[in-house]
Amino acid sequence: MGTATAIAHPNIALIKYWGKRDETLMLPAAGSLSMTLDSVATRTTVSVGGDSDVFQLNGELSTGRAADKVFKFLDLVRQLAGSDDRATVLSHNDAPTAAGLASSASGFAALATAAAAAYGLNLSTAELSRLARRGSGSAARSLIDRFAVWHAGDDDQTSFAEEIDAPDMRMIICEINAGPKAVSSRDGMRHTRDTSPFYPAWAPATEKALAEMLAACAAQDFTKIGELTEAHAMQMHALALSAVPPLRYLAPTSFAAFDRIAELRATGIETYGTADAGPNVVAIARPKDAAAVAAALSEFGATHIAAPGPGAYLEGAA
C-alpha cells in the first residue's frame, strides 16, 4: 500500500490541440506544442487503500463528473499495475480552477505521476505522458520540462509529449473575466468536429504549422515563433466560430488586448498573443520585455508573468 505526492504546472500551447480522432485513447487530430509554466501548481497525493475511491479537491469532497474522470483514470493505473486496490486522491490547486489556466493539464499530470508511484509502477517520462493523456489530452504536455511537442501519433504508444529546445521567453497571462463559463474544451472539440464545415482543414493546417514552429524553435527565431503562435490561435478560434451554433470564446476585451499587443509590436516591443477556450489572453515576449507587456495589459485584467517551468515531478514516495 503506497502513498505518493506529485507537483505539476499548467502549460499554454503555441500550436493548439483542438479535436480528437480517438476519444477512447485520447488521440488528438494533430500534434501540438506548448510551454510548461513555472507558476501556479497542482499538488496531488495518492494513497492506495480504503474501501472505495475518494477524490478531494482543495479540501472539498468531489463527486459527479470531475470525480468520475479521476476514478476512471485510477482504473487505467490499476490495470497497468495489476491491482484492484482503491485509492484516496487529495489535490490542491494554487489558482482558482476558473482562472483560465488549464487546471485539467496540471491536474492529470500530477495525478498520473502520483498514482503511478503509489501503485508501484516505475514509468519513464514518455510513459507518464502517455498515461496523463488518457485523463486529459493537454496533460500529456505538462509532464515535460520547459517546451513540449506532443506527437499526435497513430496509436497509444506513439502519442506522447517530449521536450524540445526553444528560446527563453515569458508568458504574460491576462485574466479577462467575461461572465458565464465557456463550453468545456472536451464538449467544444466534439461540437466543432460534428458541425464545422472547416474541420477537415484543421488537422493538416495544424501539422503544417507545427512543422514550421519546430523549425522556428530549432532556429531560436522568436519572431517566427510569435507570428506562428498568434496565427494558429486565431485559426483555432475561427474554427470554433465556424461550428453551428458557434463557439465564441473570445470577449470584446480579449480583442482589445490583442489590439494592444499589436500596438506594442508597432512601438518596438515584440510580443504576440494567444488564447485558449476562454476569454483570457496570453502574450509571449522576450524576458527583457515581459514587465512592459504585463503593465500594458493590466488594464484588461489581472496579469502575471510565467517563465518556462518543470514538468510534473514526484515530491516524495513512501
Residue ranges that bind ligand 2P0, judged by CB under 6 A: 13, 16-18, 26, 32, 102, 104, 136-138, 185-186, 276-277
Q: In whole angstroms, what is the distance from residue 253 CA to residue 74 CA? A: 40
- Is the CB of 29 or the CB of 48 nearer to ligand 2P0? 29
Q: Which residue's beta carbon is nearest to the bound ligand 2P0?
A: 137
Cβ-based neighbour number of residue 167 at 10 Å = 15
Residue carrying the nine cell digits 510565467: 306
- Is the CB of 18 or the CB of 160 nearer to ligand 2P0? 18
- Is the CB of 32 or the CB of 254 nearer to ligand 2P0? 32
- Is the CB of 47 or the CB of 280 nearer to ligand 2P0? 280
Report the nearest approach of ligand 2P0 to the CB of residue 131 (Å).
Answer: 14
Q: In whole angstroms, what is the distance from residue 198 CA to residue 232 CA? A: 14
Report the nearest approach of ligand 2P0 to the CB of residue 220 (Å).
Answer: 23
- Is the CB of 47 or the CB of 206 nearer to ligand 2P0? 206
- Is the CB of 2 or the CB of 278 nearer to ligand 2P0? 278
Report the nearest approach of ligand 2P0 to the CB of residue 50 (Å).
Answer: 27
For residue 245, the SS3 value is coil
Report the nearest approach of ligand 2P0 to the CB of residue 7 (Å).
Answer: 19
Report the nearest approach of ligand 2P0 to the CB of residue 93 (Å).
Answer: 14
The residue type found at 218 is A
Cβ-based neighbour number of residue 168 at 10 Å = 12
Q: In whole angstroms, what is the distance from residue 304 CA to residue 302 CA? A: 7
Report the nearest approach of ligand 2P0 to the CB of residue 217 (Å).
Answer: 16
Are the C-beta atoms of residues 45 and 57 closer than 8 Å to each other?
Answer: no
Residue carrying the nine cell digits 480517438: 22
For residue 121, the SS3 value is coil
For residue 147, the SS3 value is strand
Q: Which of 153, 169, 172, 170 is nearest to 161 (CA)?
A: 153
